[in-house]
Amino acid sequence: MNFLLDEVARATLRLAEAGVASPRTDAEELAAFVHGVRRAELHNVADGDFDALYWECVARRAAREPLQHITGRAYFRYLELQVGPGVFVPRPETEIMVGWAIDTLRAMDVADPLVVDLGTGSGAIAISIAQEVPRSRVHAVDLDPEALIWAKRNIEASGHADRLTAHQGDMRECPRELDGRVDLLISNPPYVPTEGAHDIPPEVRDYDPAPALWSGADGLDMIRDLERVGRRLLRPGGSMAVEHGDDQGIDIPRLFPEELGWIDVRNRKDLARRDRFVVMRRQDAS
């Protein structure tokens, strides 16, 4: 067996024993990080080049430090983002919601769509939309100044900073200057129930910022607030997408009732066929 592959196999076993959910992938990602290549390029790493730093990284991951904190990078759609302590690590599940938002924007009869991403974290959602909808103007909002540092860093590196504006502020209040003008509102808000903390993996519970996770006893407090924010920010006919937990889908649509002007309220599923986000529109002006 190739020496590098043997080391990766040993690391995979160690990570699996530590309870890591994707041990082989993480072992390969750490090897790629240590040697400055992509996972697909690991076969180009010479056996003699294998570095002891690898086992330091494996030990950190076995202690359940997030992979992305060790490598300093996270992949999201077509982006490679800088991440680390103080910012929520973007998840693959969110990519499906962003894909829906991009398709919705492309179908709109709007030349320069105005988009707001509430709770932007690393900027993953906002930057993806700016990149894939070339004439969009995107506002990214986060209350946490530490998270916003990461978002601004990724915005500057994206090449789309001219169409991306970062705001520090409470997503329930900011940005007031866009009231009634927004074509699409999107958010991956906090939605973890405080009463379910014992079920959360240590990578999330101990490393993701608390304000990005917890949202009341049932996890729906911020989503209830987003209903009011959507009524304030969206133009008539504007669209909204909100991510939620995979066991919350049955509870979310009733928070956006028709009597408050919401139409076409639907749950959408992730790749595992679990309810993952809810979409809706503001009723057109009569």
Torsion angle in degrees (nearest 10) through CA of 104, 107, 110, 116: 10
Segment 167-192 mean pLDDT: 94
Average pLDDT, the chain: 92
- pLDDT tens by residue, 47-98: 655 678 899 999 999 999 999 999 999 999 999 999 999 999 999 999 999 9
Residue type at position 195: E
In whole angstroms, what is the distance from residue 201 CA to residue 183 CA? 36
Three-state DSSP at 36 gives: coil
Query: How many other CB atoms are there within 10 angstroms of residue 49's CB atom?
Result: 11
**What's the whole-number mean pLDDT along residues 107-136?**
97
**Of the spans 34-38, 103-107, 174-178, which averages the highest pLDDT?**
103-107
d(C-alpha 126, C-alpha 120), whole Å:
7
Q: Each residue of 200-214: b (16+ CB within 10 Å) or e?
A: eeebbbebbbeebbb
DSSP state of 89: P
Q: pLDDT at residue 285 above 80?
A: no
User: What's the CA gap between 228 and 99, in Å, rounded?
Assistant: 24
Q: What's the pLDDT band for 266 if we cut at 50, 70, 90?
A: very high
Residue 200 CA to residue 192 CA, distance in Å, equals 9
Tokens 């002006």 sit at which residue? 285
Handedness of CA 239, 120, 124, 276 (dihedral sign): negative
Tell me the pLDDT tens digit for each residue of 131-157.
999 999 999 999 999 999 999 999 999
Output the known binding site for S-adenosyl-L-methionine. 119-123, 142, 188
Tokens 């009634």 identify what position? 180
Per-residue pLDDT of 227-246, as tens digits, reads: 999 999 999 999 999 999 88
Give the start-end residues of each E strand in the chain.
Answer: 73-76, 79-82, 114-118, 137-142, 164-168, 182-187, 234-243, 262-269, 275-282
Question: pLDDT at residue 1 above 60?
Answer: no
- C-alpha 189/C-alpha 90 separation (Å) is 12
Average pLDDT of the segment spanning 272-281: 93
Contact 261, 282 (CB under 8 A): yes
Closest to 58 in 3D by CA, of 14, 24, 16: 14
The pLDDT score that the predictor gives to residue 3 is: 59
**pLDDT tens digits for range 10-59:** 999 999 999 999 999 999 999 999 988 888 878 777 665 567 889 999 99
How do residues 184-232 score in pLDDT, each as one tens digit?
Answer: 999 999 999 988 777 788 999 899 999 999 999 899 999 999 999 999 9
Query: What's residue 38's pLDDT?
Result: 84
Per-residue pLDDT, 25 = 95
Residues annotated in the binding site for substrate, as ranges? 188-191
Integer angstrom CA distances of residue 113 from 90, 116, 136, 160, 236: 24, 10, 5, 15, 14
pTM: 0.92
Question: How high is the pLDDT of residue 122?
Answer: 97
Q: Residue 254 has what pLDDT?
A: 93
Q: Which residues contact 47 (CB under 8 A, 6 or more apart)?
A: 2, 3, 4
**Distance (Å) of CA 162 to CA 36, 124, 135, 204:** 30, 16, 11, 33
Share of the chain above pLDDT 90, in %: 77
Binding-site residues, in ranges, read 119-123, 142, 188-191
